[in-house]
Amino acid sequence: MESKSLALENDRDIAVARGLVRKIASDLGFRLIDQTRLATVASELARNVIKYAGSGRLIAQPTESASGRAGLRLIFEDKGPGISNIGNAMRDGFTTGGGLGKGLPGSRRLVDEFNIESEIGQGTRVTIVRWK
C-alpha cells in the first residue's frame, strides 16, 4: 500500500484525518483497539497543526520493521511557529493553547514510536509509528 498525503487546512480536516487514518489502519489489518488508538492520535495531532500553525499536512505511510513486522507511520508537519520548549509540551497538563494539555503526552502513550522535531519560526514535525 502506498503513502497517502492529506492537506490539513481547517477544523473539518481534523475529522477527515482521523477517518482516513482509521480506514488505512483497518485496511492494513490493525485490530479495532489499534484502529481506535491511531484515529485518536491522528485527531489530536491534526488538531495541533490547525490550532498552532493554521495549516500543514498529514502523511500516512504503511511501513515494515527490520524484522518484517507491519506498521503504520504517520507524519504531521507544519510551517508554524514551532515549539519553544518540547520538554514542557510533552508534559501532562501543560498547555499554551487553552486545552487540556493531553494532546502530545497522551498521543505518545497511544503509539509505539513518537518523535518530535521543531524549530522556532520554521515549523514542527511529529512522527509516530504503531506496529501491528
Partner 1 sequence: MDGARIPILKVGRVLVVPIQFDMDDQTVIHLQERILHELERTCARGVLIDISLLEMIDSFIGRMLSDIAAMARIMDARTVVVGMQPAVAITLVELGLELKGVETVLNVDEGFKLLRAEFNTPDEEEEEFYWETSVIGK
Kind and range of the H or E run holding 35: helix 32-48
Tell me the helix, strand and coil percentages in the chain, rounded to 5.
Answer: 40, 30, 30
CB-nearer residue toward partner 1: 14 or 28: 14
> How near is the Cβ of 119 to partner 1 at its closest, in Å?
25
CB-nearer residue toward partner 1: 23 or 125: 23
In a 3-state reduction of DSSP, which class is residue 12? helix
Whole-number Å distance between alpha carbons of 77 and 70: 23
* Contact window for partner 1 (CB under 8 A) among 29-37, 52-60, 66-74, 116-124: 29-37
114: Cα within 13 Å, side-chain hemisphere? 16
20, 28, 43, 72: which one binds partner 1 (CB under 8 A): 43
Which residues of this protein are in contact with partner 1, per CB under 8 A?
11-12, 14-15, 18-19, 22, 32-33, 35-37, 39-40, 43-44, 47, 92, 99-100, 102-103, 105-107, 109-110
